[in-house]
Amino acid sequence: MKLTAKHWAWLLIGGPLLVFSIWAIADNTRLYFVTLLNGLTLAALYFIVASGFTLVFGLMRNVNLAHGSLYLLGGYVGFIVAEKTGWWILAVATGFLAAAILGLLMQVLILRHMQGQDMRQTMVTIGLSIVIADLLLWAFTAQVHQMDAPEWLHGPIRGLPLIKAYSAYRLSLLGFGVAIGIFLWWLLTRTRVGAMIRAGVDDRNMLAASGVNVNLVFAITFMLGAGLAGFGGVIGAVELSMVPGEDTRLLLASLIVVIVGGMGSVVGAALGAVILGLAETYGLAYAPTYSVVFTFVILILVLAFRPRGILGRPA
């Protein structure tokens, strides 16, 4: 019986998607595939930002609502460094570091002192996000900042099948996303710290009882999560512009990715990012004024049928 229900679900979701795909390919092949690539590259960016969010949440049950602010901070820092030195790689590194250090400070100075008080921690991150956002607005004004892509990723790649040409930088986002995914997989499954993090996700108290310095693991994870937001900020700053309000957008994306994919699961974050990225870009391409509705529908469907997300487990 269960199998048939599953089949029905696949049919109900997959059927309309298949019909749409066939129609869209027949209608305008290039648009369809360009949108597909756009969706996947956006998904890569979402994945990088949301994986940090989900790591922190999974381990510490801490909803870091300042995650969007960390993203924006990373972007701005990277922008300054790139402008001063002209080294894009350096900009990425400093963006990562700036957000990571701020995240570490947040964890060590404030959040550590209210462990176990989920709601209060969340309130604190809300307060921090208001303050950080306003300080950034003060320092960088409401002007739109845009970073240049590095030399070696300038211009389009030509001669691709079906879509002819595509921005090299956007394509590289996909590479970054995959690289971060592989890095996280390696970190979580092949290293000692990763084993501790996974153990902490499953049972914090047991981890502490077995002699691991949980505070250190928490600090490292928070740093990594914040750093990933900053990293996303720098590489996103080329494609999406940096302007106050982007922090909200990326926070929303992280929230939805994590809710849809399943909280605390990195694979879930990847799945959620792909779903959200595709839904957003296809929505924008085919139904511009209602594109957010697709996001709504996905959110509602997932919450109605899988309240813990597609790959979520009971806490």
Minimum distance between the CB of residue 124 and another protein, rounded to whole angstroms?
Answer: 6
3-class secondary structure, 46: helix
Say if residues 99 and 107 touch (Cβ distance below 8 Å). no
Considering the complex, state which of residue 7 and residue 306 has its C-beta at the smaller distance from another protein: 306
Considering the complex, state which of residue 122 and residue 241 has its C-beta at the smaller distance from another protein: 122
Considering the complex, state which of residue 35 and residue 94 has its C-beta at the smaller distance from another protein: 35
Minimum distance between the CB of residue 162 and another protein, rounded to whole angstroms?
Answer: 29
Q: What does residue 157 show for φ and ψ, rounded to 5 degrees?
A: -95, 125
Considering the complex, state which of residue 4 and residue 205 has its C-beta at the smaller distance from another protein: 205
CA–CA gap between residue 183 and residue 92 (Å, rounded)? 16
What would the two tokens of residue 78 be? Answer: 């990277």
Alpha-carbon dihedral 193, 196, 197, 199, rounded to 10 degrees: 160
Minimum distance between the CB of residue 31 and another protein, rounded to whole angstroms?
Answer: 20
What would the two tokens of residue 109 be? Answer: 């100075």
Minimum distance between the CB of residue 196 and another protein, rounded to whole angstroms?
Answer: 23
Residue with tokens 């400070």: 105
Say if residues 197 and 217 touch (Cβ distance below 8 Å). yes
CA–CA gap between residue 231 and residue 89 (Å, rounded)? 11
Considering the complex, state which of residue 110 and residue 195 has its C-beta at the smaller distance from another protein: 110
H or E element that contains 314? none
Minimum distance between the CB of residue 87 and another protein, rounded to whole angstroms?
Answer: 33
One-letter amino acid for residue 185 of the chain: W
Considering the complex, state which of residue 90 and residue 252 has its C-beta at the smaller distance from another protein: 252
Residues that bind another protein (CB under 8 A): 61, 63, 65, 110, 114, 116-120, 122-124, 126-128, 130-131, 133-135, 137-138, 248, 251-252, 255-256, 258-259, 263, 288-293, 295-296, 299-300, 303-304, 307-308
Minimum distance between the CB of residue 20 and another protein, rounded to whole angstroms?
Answer: 20
CA–CA gap between residue 178 and residue 172 (Å, rounded)? 10
